Structure 1
């Protein structure tokens, strides 16, 4: 059968796997998921609005931090509304272009976490290890370059991934996961050679990890050395505390990602558990990150309380 004939039989309305949830608890799961989503959207939007509107947060550190809640909103919005809709409607169908768009956003989110955390660690390294040169180094131009490289590199690498995926001929119509990603889209192919796709996918994951982990390790090791050598400097130790939130976020991301990969390596793990592990990477960080950064970042706390005080005064 020719590629043209295969394309003619391909249906753009795909069937997608579902979570096996007992009927009595369907709406309970939906409500919990909806509350988590609304909480994440509210908290991440609040941090973004605080950074935009509050003069106290108009600093390089927070301009870079702005990218994190934005990326979290992309991650959780690309997955959770779609899954919740399937839980309630029990339709379990997805239009192919929508599926590709969801997969693209999922991979953008994953790469975004790594590159944004790397950018944040560079800022903390310069602020703590080179405090006198920091204002002259971290100019608006440098700041734009760092943010643009983080987002631009992520976008370029993911675009290549999906350009390679678009070459394949599709004849299957079943997505084996509860959400769309590059591996599930490749499984729609008609048994053709996907060696290039697999090699690029593995190289992409490895290089993203190497770049992000390498930059963060360099930055935080240098910060630790400075803090240890300047034992009497309260400034260095206080500045180093701003790194805690980034480190916690990175550890959580790596832990959840590793747990998801391992879940697919053991056959005795129930399919439902594997699906939940896949979803968690898009839910946990977008829900937890605003709490971590709100609690561990004093300036964000101060900006929040200033806004609340102004609202109380306005209502009196």
Structure 2
């Protein structure tokens, strides 16, 4: 392993010098980040504590929410720190860690969405066989594969990247990404490029194919079904489809920018970063909370429980203060 590169310091130049306006961007970023954390954690708690939601679809959704926490926490705390700093520095080792979790977030999101698409296909196209196909053992296997495969695949890619010898140490982005590091290396690594292409095919293209194939089969079956069945299929699939399209468009923009970054202004990269690492983790829980009837019911029940709890607390405090006043 090349220790000289690991010990080096990277400079991030996209932030520019510190300005009072940075306080506004910091506050806005912090607000959206906290909302993202709250919405994902709240969704996870509802799924965890509500036994009626202990079904494959919601177990996969729990994993997607956890993935959203990883994605937003990989990038935004570091960006907020740099917004309030005069010099934006990062060690190469920290840069590799950020690449690892950032790419894990992207690839794990795709594998999880493909597993969710397969679950919807079985639910709609083979409803009588659903429970015999989506057994607890199979759910665990699919969930494990959706996380373990990206976990180890990205680890190999990051290890190969760590062995690169760097000639330049200036990053003209908001955070570290693989393409930037490859451009900073002294020698172009065919092995890293080949490994990256394999990762792209196995962790993005293949999951996308599964999603598209699943929905093609769902559409074929739905067209032959009754109006009521079509409506039910639409309500069941729409949150997942919206999430997949939103995430797919964001990743497409990210890939296009990495390819043609020299021809595009830096502001485009900032918008793409927001679209990839902030919008999906924030919107996914909201989309599922609004579109999914069972989650809506559990949300209302949870709010009512807390409302009753707070009313009991208020009544207890009021009675206690009244008795003390009378005495």
**Could you state the TM-score of these two structures normalised by the residue count of structure 1?**
0.91
Partner of 1:140: 136
Cα distance in structure 2, aligned partners of 1:168 and 1:39: 38
> Helix, strand or coil: the match of 1:89?
coil
Deviations 1:96-124 (A, max 9, x none): 22221111000001101110100100111
- Residues 223, 240 of structure 1: 8 Å contact kept: no
Gaps (5+ residues) in structure 2?
Answer: 312-327
Offset at 1:21? 7.7
Q: Which has the larger radius of gyration?
A: 2
Offset at 1:268? 5.0
Partner of 1:290: 285
| Aligned match for 1:104, one of 100, 105, 110 | 100
Offset at 1:209? 2.7
Distance change >3 Å, CA 89–CA 269, structure 1 → 2: same
| Aligned match for 1:29, one of 1, 25, 30 | 25
Deviates more, 1:178-187 or 1:95-104: 178-187
- Residues 18, 86 of structure 1: 8 Å contact kept: no
- Aligned residues: CA RMSD: 2.2
Deviations 1:234-287 (A, max 9, x none): 245314422111111111122122223334526553223324423431111111
Determine if the alignment matches structure 1 residue 257 to structure 2 residue 251.
yes
Distance change >3 Å, CA 263–CA 180, structure 1 → 2: closer
Gaps (5+ residues) in structure 1?
Answer: none
Cα distance in structure 1, aligned partners of 2:36 and 2:167: 37
Deviates more, 1:294-303 or 1:90-99: 90-99
Partner of 2:207: 212
| Aligned match for 1:62, one of 54, 58, 61 | 58
Partner of 2:160: 164
Offset at 1:91? 2.5
Q: Where is the helix percentage greater, Structure 1 or Structure 2? A: 2
Distance change >3 Å, CA 45–CA 284, structure 1 → 2: same
Q: How does 1:293-308 map to 2 (within 5 A)?
A: 293-308=288-303
Determine if the alignment matches structure 1 residue 245 to structure 2 residue 223.
no
- Residues 10, 173 of structure 1: 8 Å contact kept: no
